[in-house]
């Protein structure tokens, strides 16, 4: 038998609490509160929001440039399972912008990027590791001008609305890829180290 008050409602008690608890849990699951969060897998490149830049030293003066066209034939990143991540990035070398037209034209030549024979540079991951606190590192094969070498790039990852943002970089030696041959192979003119920075935006 249940007691009924003058208002016609049953008094709150343990029976009422037993209903509130599952409702609160359902709300937490629905609104993504702790205990109800769910992993998102990022697998679509937002090419318009992504960019790759580079830096180098010429006659002891720091220079920079960027590539504006890239695509990701393969992309899969789940922050809850980073070790299973995969990424393949292709960069159109014809989209290079070194800051002025003469430099861009020079980079197209055989001694530098040799664009007619090698229009793309690529990176394909072989391993992704978590370093903790939103830090990761990816190891994979970098290919430029028909030459390949393993590189490792540390990066930060954060979620921004419905996007995942990856920011990081690494350094490689241009001589390993035959970039800047002939008279340009003198490292006192153009340094051997090339710094790459990437800002990659992906969506589920």
Reading the block at residue 144, the tokens are 């430029």
Contacts of 60 (CB under 8 A, 6+ apart): none
As a whole number of angstroms, the distance between CA 148 and CA 117 comes to: 15
As a whole number of angstroms, the distance between CA 59 and CA 40 comes to: 46
SS3 call for 19: helix
Answer yes or no: is pLDDT of 159 > 70.
yes
Give the tens place of pLDDT for each residue, 17-43.
454 555 444 444 444 433 334 579 999
Can you give the pTM of this predicted structure? 0.81
Q: For the chain, which domains are there?
A: 1-38 (no CATH), 44-203 (2.40.128.110)
SS3 call for 39: coil
Contacts of 6 (CB under 8 A, 6+ apart): none
Q: How confident is the model at residue 2 (pLDDT cuts 50, 70, 90)?
A: very low
pLDDT given at position 33 = 39
φ/ψ (deg, to 5) at 46: -95, 90
Q: Contact 63/77 with Cβ under 8 angstroms? A: no
E strand or H helix at 51: strand 51-58
Give the tens place of pLDDT for each residue, 106-152.
999 999 999 999 999 999 999 999 999 999 999 999 999 999 999 99
Give the tens place of pLDDT for each residue, 61-88.
999 999 999 999 999 999 999 999 999 9
SS3 call for 11: coil
Answer yes or no: is pLDDT of 102 > 50.
yes
Q: How confident is the model at residue 158 (pLDDT cuts 50, 70, 90)?
A: very high
E strand or H helix at 202: strand 193-203
E strand or H helix at 21: helix 14-31
Question: Which string of DSSP letters, residue by residue, matches 91-148?
Answer: EEGGGEE-SSHHHHHHHTSTTTT-TTT--EEEEEEEEEEEEETTEEEEEEEEEETTEE
Give the tens place of pLDDT for each residue, 164-187.
999 999 999 999 999 999 999 999
pLDDT given at position 73 = 98
Answer yes or no: is pLDDT of 1 > 80.
no
């Amino acid at each position: 038998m249940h007691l009924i008050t003058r208002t016609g409602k049953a008094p709150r008690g343990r029976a009422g609490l037993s209903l509130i608890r599952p409702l609160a849990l359902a709300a937490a699951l629905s609104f993504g509160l702790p205990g109800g969060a769910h992993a998102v897998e990022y697998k679509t490149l937002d090419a318009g929001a992504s960019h790759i830049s580079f830096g180098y030293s010429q006659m002891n003066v720091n220079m920079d440039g960027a590539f504006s066209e890239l695509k990701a034939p393969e992309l899969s990143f789940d922050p809850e399972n980073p070790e299973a991540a995969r990424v393949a990035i292709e960069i159109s070398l014809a989209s290079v912008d070194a800051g002025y037209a003469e430099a861009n034209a020079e980079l197209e030549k055989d001694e530098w990027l040799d664009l007619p024979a090698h229009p793309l540079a690529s990176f394909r991951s072989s391993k992704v590791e978590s370093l903790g606190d939103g830090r990761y590192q990816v190891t994979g094969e970098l290919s430029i001008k028909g030459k390949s070498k393993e590189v490792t790039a540390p990066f930060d990852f954060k979620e921004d609305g419905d996007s995942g943002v990856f920011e990081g970089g690494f350094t490689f030696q241009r001589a390993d890829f035959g970039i800047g041959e002939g008279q340009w192979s003198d490292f006192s003119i153009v340094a051997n180290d090339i710094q790459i920075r990437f800002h990659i935006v992906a969506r589920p």
